[in-house]
Every structure is written in C-alpha cells, then in structure tokens.
Structure 1
Amino acid sequence: MATALLPNDDIHTNTNDKSLEIFSIIWLDENINVKDTRKTEVTLRSIINHIKKFQDVKQCQQYIEQTSQKDRLILVVSGRLGLEILPYIHQLRQVISIYVYCMDKNSNEQWAFKFSKIKSVVVDLDELVSQITTDHKIQKKVEEPLSINIFTTYIGRGKSTTGVNGEFVFSQILVDCLLRLKSTDIDKNELIKLCENEYKGNYTELNNLREFQDYSPDKVLWWYTRESFFYKILNAALRTQDIHMLFLFRSFIYDIYRQLHKYQSKNFVRAYRCQLMSHDELNSLKQNIGQFISINSFFSTSDERRTALFLLGDITTQIDSERVLFEIDADPKMVNTKSFANISKHSYFPDESEVLFMIGSIFRLNNINRNDDQIWIIKMTLCNDDEHDLKQVLMYMKQQIKSEEINLRTLGKLLWKMGKLDLAEKYFNRLLQELPSDDPLLSSLYEDLGELASQTGDFDMSVQWHQKSLTIKNKNQLTANPVIKKIKLSTGKELKKFCFSYNYNLR
C-alpha cells in the first residue's frame, strides 16, 4: 500500500498555516525530529495529513488557542511537556483527544487520569499509531462539527432575529447559486493544484489524486464515501463554510445533487445520526425547539439505530462532550425541494446502510430529551423550503437568481449582499480575467467594482473603475444619462466630483 512520505523539513513554528482538512495532529516533544519519530509521522500522514510539530510549549499553546473551534486537533505530547500544557488547553473545544508518548508509562499514568481527553499513555510508537488509527475511525464520524443555521421567530430581549435569520436565508441562496454556476477547466485545475500542494509528500493521497483524473459524474457518491482527499476537503469546506473551496467543488456538489435526485427515497424513512456536541452547541438547539434549522453540509445518517448508537462508544466512559443521537423523520411525499436517498448501492462501503441528505436540508426541531443512558435524543422532521415564516423572502430571492443567467457577477453580488466584500471583489476580478475586451458586461462589472471600492473606502480605486465604465459607455454610445456628455473629464478633480455625484445618483 502506498504511504505518506514526510519531507525532511524543519520544526514548524508558523501559526498562520491552514490545513484544508478538519483534523490535524499536533506533536509537542523536545525530541520530535529523531529518526524513529519521523518514520511514525510518515505513517500517520496517511491517516491524518496535517501534522504540526513543536518543541516549545508556549508556541504550541498559542497555536492551539488560535485554531478555530471548528477544527479538530489530536495532540501527541511527551510526559514532561504534557504536564505543562494540558492545564491550559485541555478544555478547548478544538482539542478532541490527547496521547502521551513517554519513556515511563507508570509515572505518567499517575497524573494522566485527571484529564478525560487523554486516550492512552504509550511508550511504543507502533502502539501510538495503532491507537490513533483505531480512535480516528470513530472520531471522523462523531467529532466533525455540524454547520447549522437556525431560523427563529423569537430571541432574547434586546436582540434582533435579523442576523440569525439572514444567515439562514443566504446559506440557502448560496447553495442554489453554486449549483447553477457552470464550472470551468480553470476552476478544476486550480482545485487539483491546491490538493497537490496540500498533500505534497503524501503518496497515499497523491495516488488518489492521480486516480481521480478518471473521475466521472456517476461515480461521485463512490468518491464522496471513500476515505480520501475528496471527502476530507469537501466536508471541511462545507463545515467551515469555506466559500472559495465550495466554489471550486461546485461541479462535484452538483453531481451529488443529481445523484440524490435520481435515487430519491420513495418511502418514509426514519434515519439516525450520532454526534458529540459541546454543552453550548446543545443548548443552542434546546433553546430553539419548535424552530427550523438548515444544515450546511451533506447530512450523513443511517437507517439503523443500533449502528448509530454504537459510534457513541461506551456510555460509562466520562467525556467532556454531550452524546447526541439525531432521530430524523423524512417523508418524500411531504418534501420535494431537497432530495435524500439511501446511497449504499453507490457507496465505497456498500455494506453501510447510509441515508444522505442534500446540503441545505431544512428540519423542524420537534423535541430534545435525555434518555436513561444519558444520551440526548434530538427528534427532527425534514421540511420543505416553504414551511417557515421566511418562505416569501426565500422564494423571492431564489426567483431572482432563476430569472437571470448565473455567472461570477451573480455570485459576487450575492456575496456582496452577505457582507463578504473581499470575496465579492475576488469573483468580480475573476470574471474580469475571463471576459473578452469587447464583452458588453464589462461596463456594468466596472461599475460594480467602483461601488465596491467606495464601500471599502478606497475612493481613488473607485474613481478608476468608474472611469473605465464611462469610457466603455461613451465608446459604445450606450450612456443613458445625458448629463454625462456635458461633463469634462480632463482632470482628476473633475472626474472625482462626477463619480461621487454618480455614486449618489446610483443610490
């Protein structure tokens, strides 16, 4: 079997690097670069690609604290340094498991039991790899964060529902926009290059990438369920709402959408999903019983309750998280907007009875109760897009998108409305690179860039963009405002004066 090959690099101390996956290994040890340890890293990278190494406790602590709570970190630490760092980072949500690698197992076990996230104390590297591998098979199913938007009709005193419900609506519209935006070879090549850079030296995933060159749309569910870069990066992008990665993956998201629609379940389904959640995450849902949630990723479930419960592990073992079981009722006769299907026959693991729900599926939170085994049961029902109070706004915005040809300008304007100005500018400029010099869309695109620049306070750039727009309009004699013909654009001062008045009129 192909393995990962770790380059002979120095100790990583840069806190700005970012993995494209959810899971990372943090290794803190004064002797991290010894030969035996490096061989272990090679093996581990075939399981969890991103390994970050430290010899200094403070640098390691700072890196962990700055990592997003949506990331999931596995910490390998020596006994002495573990005693120093664990009191400061053990409670952090992003830290999910800890392994103490040491020379004296008995003495380190004396203090390790105080920290519930410590999975084992080991003295042998092969045992360390085996333990991480075994634990990760479960962790990758129950520890991945859920990206959820809540639509609520009530909220705490003095607070507004606008921001909360706005995220709910725009997440739905964004998915619709990406599904209708045609992909290009430029986008696919950029995605492949990003993956090749991410997995440099990891021959397991590089081989998967080479195999992926023969991809066909009818195999998308096979690729999505396979333990490879495709699933890991796409899931991470969905759960962290990395919009640019979703943009690059959009043709594959569309292929999954088509497959779910094609194999849509014909009968009522009760599906289950296990999850480990923080107290805050669970409380957020408990405060919104009777409301609606949308899940911003593909929602993987099983139609076998026992299978889902098994993944929650030994219920007698104390953990820092809450054990949760989602119980979902889905009736295809009542729901026709978001597809769901049993994908077992098309999966890399055909023996797993997996029911997959489309991105943006909306559920009503019916009830949340804890059973005798101290597992929280969250009962939900799959809903249509028009079963909540925002249906008119949602339908109106969707209709606006459907009434026009979807291009990068459409995506940019949507991101602009979402307040993501940097991304809006990015896609406007991307479209600018693709359009021919005589394209009639150029004038409007320059206007958009001018307005965007003025909103970010870059007034000089705004003037330049508006000048480009006016030049094209004059050249093509498409100017609708007769005042433009009377204005002399001979000096920068006159041009600025005109552009500010032009911006005012546009508003």
Structure 2
Amino acid sequence: MGCSSTKNLSSIIGAPLEKHDPVSGPINTSSPHRETRFIENCIVIWLVASSTITAHKNIAEKLRQVISILKIFNNPTECITFIENIREEKVFLIVSPEMEQAVRSVHYLSQLEKIYIFSLSFQKMETIDDQIIQTKIFSDINDLCEQIHHDVKFCELDLINIIVVPAEIQSTTFSAKQVAMFTCIQLVKKIALRIKFESEHKDVFLDFCRPYYVSNEEQMQYLEDFENNYRPKNVLWWITKPCFLSKILHRVLRTYEIDVIYKMGFIVRHIHTQLTLLHENIFSLFTDRSIVYRGKTMPNDEFDILIKNNCGGILSFSNFLTASIHKKDAMDFIQQRLITHPKMAAILFEICLDLTIRSTANVCAIINNLNSNMKSEEGEICFTMGTVFRIQSVEQVIDNLTNMWIVKLTFVDDNDQQFYRLVAPLRTNDVDTNPLSYLGKLLIEMGASERAEQFYLDLQTDPSVFNQPRRLARLQNGLGLIFTYKGDHMKALEHYHISLKTTLSYMSPDHPDLASIYKSIGDSYRNTHNYIQALANYEHSAQLLKDDQHSIIDLNDCIIKTKQLLEFNKQQC
C-alpha cells in the first residue's frame, strides 16, 4: 500500500516497513517489495503541493504527535489510489485548498472519516458544505491538531467489532462467518488465559512496537515507562491511557491480527485477571439489575443485517468493551458521531447487569477510579473481551429529535444452550492439544486466511515453538491446512510432511494420532493426481485407526474413490 510520492518523504513520515502485511493481502516472501503495515485504527493523510513540502516539515512533526501514522502525498491521483486501497483503517484527510476539488470523488468511501482544508495563507475561517462531509478550513496548525485529536478519539470509540450469531443459525455464508468469528475470539481468550507471564514476553512486544513510534516522542516515553514500570496489577491503568498499548490492542482485537494478539497475549490475560479480581466490587455498588450504556453508529444496512433482524440471538464484542453508568454520556457520544456521519444508524446499547446471572467468562469492573485525570469517564465499566450477551429487544425511538435504536442486552450464563453448543468444539481434546491449528481453521472460515498464514509464519521463528517438537508439528499442520484452502496442494504437502517427520520424533510410528496427518497427506496427493501415494497414505491412516470404526468410515470412502480414480487412469493409458 505504498506509492512513489511517499518514498522520498521517509524522513518526514517515519513509517516503518515490514516484510509481511496481513492487511493488504497474501504474503509473498520472495518479493523484494515491502509495504507499510499499520498497527493503529486511524491514519492521517496529507495532500499538499510539492513545492511546500520542505517548508511544512515542522507541521508534519506536529501532526505526528497527534496521531502516529502520517502519510504525505503531492500527487492527487496517487493519494486517491492509496485511500481506495485502505481496508481496515479510518482516514483523516488534510488537503490544500487548491487540491480540494481533486479529492471530492472519494467522499463516498467508508474508510474516509473526515476531510480538513488547511492553508497557512487563509486568515478567515470558512466552511465548505458537502453532501457527505462538512469540511472546515484551518489556518492554524494548533487548531487543526486539536480538532483531529478530538475526532480521532470519538472515531476510535466507535470502532468496536460486533459479532452476532442468530438464534436460529441458517446455512448461509453470513451465519458461518459470524459463528467462526465468535468461536475464534473465544478461543483466542482461552489461549491467552493459559499464558504464563515471562519477562521476555514484554521484551518481544516492545521490540515489535518501537519502530512504529520512533518519530513520536510522547509514545516513545510511554514505551520507556512501560518497559520500566509495567506490572500485571496496573494493566487496567495502562489501557485507560491514550497510549500505544491501548491503541494497538483495540485495533488487533477488532481486526483479528493474530500475530500481534499473540505478542500481546500476556496483556490480555492480565486484563481479564484484574477485571475478575475487581468484579466482586460491582455487587456492592449496584442493585441486582442495573443498566449501563454504550453508544454506537453504523451503516443502516449493516445494522439491519447484523442486529435488527437477529433479536433473540447472541451478541459479542471482540474487544474489551467500555460502557457508562450515565445514559447522557452515551447519548452525547452518539450526537457527536452523527455530526460527522448524519446518515448512520444511531444505536444505544442498554446492557442489563443482572448480577444474579453467574458466568465465569463474562466479567466486568468499574475502572474510572484508576486514573485521576479521567473525570469525564466517571462511572465507566469495562467488560472482558468476548463477553457474551443475548439481544433481548430492538426498538426504534425518537430522542431529542434523534432517530435512534435501543438495543437491550443481557448476560448469557454458562448454562445457556446456544452458547454451550457454540463453544462445544473448544472443549474437545483435539482443540486442547492443537489450538493453533484450529485457530487457523477458524480464520480460514472467516475469510482471513492471510492472517492465519501471517501468524504461523511468524511462529516459525518463535523459540517457544521451534524448540518444542509438539508445537512445531501443530504449526506445520496449520500451514498445511492454509495452503490446502488456498489450493496450493504441493506447498500443503510440504508442510504436512514436515509435521509428520516432527511428530515421529516424539511419537511411536503406530500411534493413532498420526492417522489425521497421513489422511491430510493423502488428500494432498489426491488433489495433485498422485493417486498411488494418496492410496498408500489413506491405507496407512486406516491401519492406525482400525479400532475406531466411526472415524474409519470416511477413510474407507476415500480409499474406494481413490482406487476408482487409479483404475480410471490405468484405463486411459
């Protein structure tokens, strides 16, 4: 996602370059081309006349102190192309007055959050009305930075990933993807809660972060502070600060960037642990049934598909969700968002804290007293990631002339039958012993095979994996699954063979657990039309499973079909 106009500006923008980019598409490790990877939700793009770039270097530095990711263009066409290729991020676009007409064609793009006109030569503030975005002209960089800081804050709060599983699951792509997303975030939490905090975990995470913030003095100070003073017991204090940790965590839990979540696994565990410890305090502060509020805006068609038509279904947020005990706070937030996006659906989540419902997974705590500087967030509740709710009702109301949807949510307890069925696969022995492979499978079902591939490729260099044969075998099996999905059966075969060789280093050759690997190898050979090898591996797998009549049925079917294909080939010759 780069372009020529930014390459000669690297000293200004300071954007780190990574070899892999799960956001922009499949990984090509043989390609010399490298693309920028973003690790926050919001970016600022500045389209400015080329003759003034050098003179505006100080302005660029000020902008970078407001938001870490700044891209500068002097060519409108390249700028528009860059914006059109943005997938996950929200763009705040600054343009010179003479460039304003050139970029009006991108106003309709969902990734474009807001446009600002900036020129030092404009002494009079003016407003340009647009059908979609109201654009204000700024002549003072401090005023512009203050406005961007305000807008980014509210945009970040609105970027929460909502997962809804219908009460009656249909055989549709939508339902399958939502189920995979729901299961994925529950599995990620399960894996993270197993992690034992070691000092090297923090070091690996900090080494990953530093290149992205090298040009941001404030965030580099946060990084140093985190390195010297972070302790598990103060993790909630850290996530209430507008720093690198909260920004990255908020993004990667929204976008399922598993490679980064893996690096932050110890943070996820510490947050959940602290929320669990503080959860009991809620019982002394609330009645049995109290309401907390969270505002949200989203496109109307997305709201209809995801929430309006799924009353009675299960709803979950992939991130650590915050809500307020004050309805006015949530309403004010919605009003602020509608100023920028008046055509969005306005949603007020009313979350019932029914403290009679006990759930080991759904914990929450009041966190406003952790930071004395956060007076405006007084009465703020934080729910653990993946908290599960039931959509009790969806009602349209008019509040202060605002057309709004009230969505009432209640906790789902551990005995809820739909929840129990959804997480049933995570309780199997196969997932317990091979969670990484199953995680890759879920990412594929979500349509995020590139993220899974990125995760597994990164794990190959992780000492905690390549020094542990069992983990390495599972990793190679996961890569085989991904390449099978992508249709690259030769590459899949390569990884399955490595998985088999590694597994044989700690498992006897007649162990039944080898059967699944031999079957995967057989499938890959059959997909490459090598039916002799396919048949040999299927038969070997069946031999290992000779006492498991249920599992052998599918294998026998594979053997029969492969023999038929082999016989057909012989006849053709």
Q: Which residue of 2 aligns with 1:488?
A: none
TM-score (norm 2): 0.73
Asked if 1:101 corresponds to 2:118, the answer is yes
SS at the partner of 1:46? helix
Residue 242 of structure 1, CA deviation: 1.4
Q: Which residue of 2 aligns with 1:324?
A: 347
Residue 215 of structure 2, aligned match among 201, 214, 233: 201
Asked if 1:125 corresponds to 2:125, the answer is no
Give the counterpart letter for 1:293 in structure 2. Answer: L
* Cα contact 2:294–2:324 (8 A) shared by 1: yes
Moved more, 235-244 or 24-33: 24-33
Please give the alpha-carbon distance, in whole angstroms, between the structure 1 residues aligned to 2:218 and 2:115.
25
Q: Which residue of 2 aligns with 1:3?
A: none
Residue 290 of structure 1, aligned match among 312, 316, 324: 312
Distance change >3 Å, CA 91–CA 173, structure 1 → 2? same
Residue 71 of structure 1, CA deviation: 1.8
1:322-343 CA distance string (max 9 Å, x none): 3332221111221313101111
Query: What are the within-5 Å matches in structure 2 for residues 225-244 of structure 1?
Result: 225-244=240-259
Give the counterpart letter for 2:240 in structure 1. Answer: T
Give the counterpart letter for 2:69 in structure 1. Answer: H
Residue 102 of structure 1, CA deviation: 3.2
Residue 440 of structure 1, CA deviation: 6.5
Distance change >3 Å, CA 244–CA 437, structure 1 → 2? closer
Moved more, 310-319 or 335-344: 310-319
Query: What are the within-5 Å matches in structure 2 for residues 335-484 of structure 1?
Result: 335-336=358-359, 337-347=361-371, 349=373, 351=375, 352-365=378-391, 366-373=393-400, 374-386=402-414, 390-400=418-428, 404=432, 409-419=434-444, 430=459, 433-434=463-464, 439=469, 457-460=487-490, 478-480=508-510
Give the counterpart letter for 1:92 in structure 2. Answer: L
Q: How many residues align?
A: 485
Give the counterpart letter for 2:103 in structure 1. Answer: I
Distance change >3 Å, CA 59–CA 342, structure 1 → 2? same
Please give the alpha-carbon distance, in whole angstroms, between the structure 2 residues aligned to 1:210 and 1:249.
17
Query: What are the within-5 Å matches in structure 2 for residues 39-78 of structure 1?
Result: 39-68=58-87, 70-78=88-96
Query: What are the within-5 Å matches in structure 2 for residues 248-267 of structure 1?
Result: 248-264=263-279, 265-266=282-283, 267=286
Please give the alpha-carbon distance, in whole angstroms, between the structure 1 residues aligned to 2:173 and 2:490.
38
Moved more, 148-157 or 57-66: 148-157
Please give the alpha-carbon distance, in whole angstroms, between the structure 1 residues aligned to 2:498 and 2:172.
46
Distance change >3 Å, CA 184–CA 496, structure 1 → 2? farther
* Cα contact 1:412–1:424 (8 A) shared by 2: no
Please give the alpha-carbon distance, in whole angstroms, between the structure 1 residues aligned to 2:387 and 2:81.
37
Please identify which structure carries the higher helix content.
2
Please give the alpha-carbon distance, in whole angstroms, between the structure 2 residues aligned to 1:335 and 1:91.
45
Residue 331 of structure 2, aligned match among 286, 309, 312: 309
Distance change >3 Å, CA 338–CA 439, structure 1 → 2? same
* Cα contact 1:153–1:161 (8 A) shared by 2: no
Moved more, 76-85 or 319-328: 319-328
Please give the alpha-carbon distance, in whole angstroms, between the structure 1 residues aligned to 2:407 and 2:535.
55
Residue 53 of structure 1, CA deviation: 0.8
SS at the partner of 1:312? helix
What runs of 5+ residues in structure 1 fail to find an aligned partner? Answer: 1-5, 485-494
Asked if 1:30 corresponds to 2:44, the answer is no
Residue 274 of structure 1, aligned match among 271, 292, 295: 295
Please give the alpha-carbon distance, in whole angstroms, between the structure 2 residues aligned to 1:166 and 1:470.
27
Residue 79 of structure 1, aligned match among 83, 86, 97: 97
Distance change >3 Å, CA 294–CA 467, structure 1 → 2? closer
Please give the alpha-carbon distance, in whole angstroms, between the structure 2 residues aligned to 1:199 and 1:400.
42
Please give the alpha-carbon distance, in whole angstroms, between the structure 2 residues aligned to 1:156 and 1:452.
25
Distance change >3 Å, CA 359–CA 108, structure 1 → 2? same
Please give the alpha-carbon distance, in whole angstroms, between the structure 2 residues aligned to 1:11 and 1:436.
33
Asked if 1:19 corresponds to 2:41, the answer is no
SS at the partner of 1:127? helix
What runs of 5+ residues in structure 2 fail to find an aligned partner? Answer: 1-8, 18-23, 25-34, 516-529, 542-554, 556-573
Residue 321 of structure 1, CA deviation: 2.8
Give the counterpart letter for 1:99 in structure 2. Answer: Y
Residue 170 of structure 1, aligned match among 170, 184, 203: 184
Moved more, 272-281 or 426-435: 426-435
Please give the alpha-carbon distance, in whole angstroms, between the structure 1 residues aligned to 2:508 and 2:338.
74
Residue 137 of structure 1, CA deviation: 4.1
1:69-112 CA distance string (max 9 Å, x none): x42111111112111211x21122221221111367599947x1
Give the counterpart letter for 1:396 in structure 2. Answer: A
SS at the partner of 1:76? strand
* Cα contact 1:269–1:331 (8 A) shared by 2: yes
Distance change >3 Å, CA 349–CA 361, structure 1 → 2? farther
Asked if 1:502 corresponds to 2:537, the answer is yes
* Cα contact 1:75–1:99 (8 A) shared by 2: yes
Moved more, 298-307 or 364-373: 364-373
Residue 125 of structure 1, CA deviation: 2.5
Please give the alpha-carbon distance, in whole angstroms, between the structure 2 residues aligned to 1:446 and 1:103.
56
Residue 56 of structure 1, CA deviation: 1.1
* Cα contact 2:436–2:475 (8 A) shared by 1: no
- Please give the root-mean-square deviation of Cα atoms over the aligned residues, in Å: 3.9
* Cα contact 1:208–1:229 (8 A) shared by 2: yes
Please give the alpha-carbon distance, in whole angstroms, between the structure 2 residues aligned to 1:438 and 1:138.
44
Please give the alpha-carbon distance, in whole angstroms, between the structure 2 residues aligned to 1:322 and 1:477.
56
Distance change >3 Å, CA 249–CA 504, structure 1 → 2? farther
Identity %: 21
